[in-house]
Structure 1
Amino acid sequence: MLTLADVTGFLDDIYPPSLAEPWDSVGLISGDPTQPVQRIHLALDPTEATVGEAVDAGADLLLTHHPLLLRGASQIPATTAKGRVLRAAIKADCALFNAHTNADRARHGVNDALADAVGLVNTTPLVPADDVRLEKIITFVPEDDAQRVIDALAAAGAGALGDYTRCAFITTGTGTFIPGEDAHPAIGQRRVVEEVRESRIEMVLAPRDRRAVVHALRAAHTYEEPAFDLLAMVPLPSDQGLGRVGDLAEGCTLREYVARVAAALPSAPAGIRAGGDPDRVVRRVAVLGGSGDSHLSDAARAGVDVYLTADLRHHPAAEHLDEGGPALIDAGHWATESTWLPLAARLLRERFGDSVRCTVSSVCTDPWSLRAPVG
């Protein structure tokens, strides 16, 4: 029987919570990890309408991109919109889970889906993820204790490389020391030179695990004062990060590319707007699903011809164009991010097969419901 914990564990694997912004709220919002899951409904936002869809579909889980409770709340009565959403989900025994900025940065996430939808190939991150930087811990232990210390460090998170765990490199040599007058040496005597056959252990770790790994080392090490080094490693090139930069198979004008984007993305009342010379040739494109004007400078540095995002503000957009930055396409928040929903549904089906049925919301959750010409 497939459980909620099985599904959320898979989602955490493909959209690691460590990739989320520090201010973000991602993961399980409500639900029992042991409850069975047979139907999953996917939507961009957890609203009364999308929860209603999930309940009508008999879904056991509503998976959304945006969180229900981004900021802390001490009261969530059913007299509020969020309270009504939470009450309806709990009443129907429909769990709530979201993958937000972690799904923005991860491969097979929001920005890969958007890049694919608007025809980009050979994509790389617009802003590479910082969390791919690893550290290395090096310590020296009596040779007979090496495996026990490696076990302790691995349990704290060290030694993980891709699908491999407990990865370590061991060399042997001789350690020497003199215990002081107030020392309580595990090996040797006070004020006497001691030489010990020791193993040098090297293991990588993520920065977030540093405190736990050092604590585990101190607890497991034989010596009263263990010697160890922590090294910051140069980050490796990453395929994870915010936004995507890629190429078009064939170049076209900005006017033509805006028409392609309009045909490729889900329709929303807000429509699509663009800034820049309509006859500008477009070959290289940066995309960032959702609000993106805080990364206008990143798009300019990327050397692209156009930057496709959403929620662009008047003054930052105008200044960007006046300073010779790439052309701009604002395709709307919902339209640029909802392309992720079918991709996430496909990944769930590929992982769990016939054990789960996935449905995708048909509700446009943009707040804008009308668009009228001016004049």
Structure 2
Amino acid sequence: MKETNGQHIISLFEQWAPKSLAVEGDPVGLQIGTLNKTITKVLVTLDVNLKTVEEAIVNGCELIIAHHPPIFRGLKNMRTDLPQGMLIEKLIKHDIAVYAAHTNLDIASGGVNDLLATALQLENINILEQTSSEQLMKLAVFTPKQSTELVRTALAIAGAGQIGDYTDCSFTSEGEGRFKPSSLATPFIGQANELAVVEEDKIEVVFPISMKSKVLKALLTSHPYEEPAYDLILLDLEVNEKGLGRIGTLLQSQTLADYAEIVKKQLNVPFVRVVGNLTKEVKKVAVLGGDGNKYIQSAKRAGADVFVTGDLYFHVAQDAEAIGLAVIDPGHHVEQIMKIGVAEYMTKVCMQHKLAVEFIPSNISTEPFQLI
């Protein structure tokens, strides 16, 4: 195992939850301190407050990965006699960097909303509200038979040919290639000013448009010809669909009251607020961590019987009731599920890269509400 710096750690994290996934205006990324230093311990927390900062200090952490950005709006001052200034001062004095992953972690595959969907025992899980996708491209390239496997392998390593859960997908057909090199050419096969007829294979692979440069580089590096012939075709298909919230089904339908008890138990909360007829049978469930008020109609359009989300407003609850959508509100703090989720994921990734980094899920509850 080897030491590493914060930049390497966050680079690995952003392969999972890139900042580009975040909704517009969301202040994700490095907020306090520097990543250009050795990191041995990372605290993973939902919120950054004086208690979690003290926890980071006690555990010897040089970096905090938080879900909620501690600096959400622009600072007008940095007064150390006020709570936010005190917090930033303490972080700087103890050389602790803070990196925020908010809606990008909500949207990422395996992120907050997938963790919640799994905890809520959902199956056949899909995205509730799509925020982005990519078009597919197809590459068709002609190569001499003796080089087919080399080129095909290089394209696969570059990421071309991934379809769903399958990798290294390609199609190869046989044919004859004809070309006449000019006197200025340095041909791999054939002679200058003479027509060459070569047994060739046509390799076809698909890939997301964002990978175009990487795939073409792999092609040109591995292909033996001085000027390989290839086609790039933009397909009317989309991949890498990303979005907020998840929707899935329960193994068996149950009453709203019974499922509310399951939500309460699975998300480890003392109570839930419920909108709807408690005897109603529910089977299709939508979930969105945090504040889901904007997505009531999305849940209804997706066919959800019940929507599990937090911070439900009074009038939005009435709107949900009017359109026949049940809602279970376990609060905003259930997003704390990310603490163990992120710590486990990053521990696994860093072990694969033989990096000596410990990820510590915070033991501090940042839930501000108390029951009396």
The answer, yes or no, to whether TM exceeds 0.5 is yes
Does the 8 Å CA contact 1:125/1:242 hold for their aligned counterparts? no
Q: Could you tell me how far apart the structure 1 residues matched to 2:9 and 2:370 are?
A: 37
Q: Could you tell me how far apart the structure 1 residues matched to 2:292 and 2:285 are?
A: 14
Does the 8 Å CA contact 1:17/1:27 hold for their aligned counterparts? no
Deviation per residue, 1:82-110 (Å, 9 max, x gap): 43333322221222112211211222211
Q: Could you tell me how far apart the structure 1 residues matched to 2:125 and 2:251 are?
A: 16
Does 2:348 match 1:345? no
Amino acid at match of 1:245: I
Does the 8 Å CA contact 1:159/1:204 hold for their aligned counterparts? yes
Deviation, structure 1 residue 322? 0.8
The equivalences for 1:146-225 within 5 A come to: 206=208
Change (3 A) 1:360 1:251: same
Number of residue-to-residue matches in the alignment: 359
Deviation, structure 1 residue 350? 2.8
Does 2:120 match 1:122? no
Does the 8 Å CA contact 2:22/2:107 hold for their aligned counterparts? no
| 2:96 aligned residue | 94
Q: Could you tell me how far apart the structure 1 residues matched to 2:211 and 2:273 are?
A: 44
* 1:252 match: secondary structure: strand
Does the 8 Å CA contact 2:28/2:69 hold for their aligned counterparts? yes
RMSD of equivalent CA atoms? 4.8
* TM-score, normalization by structure 1: 0.70
Does the 8 Å CA contact 1:126/1:299 hold for their aligned counterparts? no
Change (3 A) 1:206 1:265: same
Amino acid at match of 2:305: D
Q: Which has the higher strand share?
A: 2
| 1:32 aligned residue | 35
Q: Which runs of 5+ in 2 are unaligned?
A: 143-154, 178-200, 217-229
158-167 or 350-359, larger mean C-alpha shift: 158-167
Q: Could you tell me how far apart the structure 1 residues matched to 2:62 and 2:238 are?
A: 40
Deviation, structure 1 residue 206? 4.7
Q: Could you tell me how far apart the structure 2 residues matched to 1:63 and 1:7 are?
A: 11
Deviation, structure 1 residue 243? 1.6
Q: Please point out which of 102, 105, 108 is paired with 2:107.
A: 105
Q: Please point out which of 41, 44, 53 is paired with 1:42.
A: 44
Does the 8 Å CA contact 1:285/1:305 hold for their aligned counterparts? yes
Deviation, structure 1 residue 358? 1.5
Does 2:59 match 1:60? no
Change (3 A) 1:168 1:91: farther
| 1:332 aligned residue | 331
The equivalences for 1:264-343 within 5 A come to: 264-267=266-269, 271-324=271-324, 326-333=325-332, 335-343=333-341
Amino acid at match of 1:281: E
| 1:5 aligned residue | 7
Does the 8 Å CA contact 2:128/2:299 hold for their aligned counterparts? no
Deviation per residue, 1:197-245 (Å, 9 max, x gap): xx9998766556779999xxxxxxxxxxxx986625411485x532222
Does the 8 Å CA contact 1:28/1:97 hold for their aligned counterparts? yes
Deviation, structure 1 residue 160? 8.6
| 1:218 aligned residue | none
Q: Which runs of 5+ in 1 are unaligned?
A: 141-152, 176-198, 215-226
Change (3 A) 1:232 1:26: farther
Amino acid at match of 1:308: V
| 1:235 aligned residue | 238
Q: Could you tell me how far apart the structure 1 residues matched to 2:92 and 2:202 are?
A: 53
Amino acid at match of 2:343: A
Does the 8 Å CA contact 1:246/1:284 hold for their aligned counterparts? yes
Deviation, structure 1 residue 289? 0.5
Q: Could you tell me how far apart the structure 2 residues matched to 1:361 and 1:348 are?
A: 18
* 2:122 match: secondary structure: strand
Does the 8 Å CA contact 1:349/1:356 hold for their aligned counterparts? yes
Does the 8 Å CA contact 1:126/1:286 hold for their aligned counterparts? no
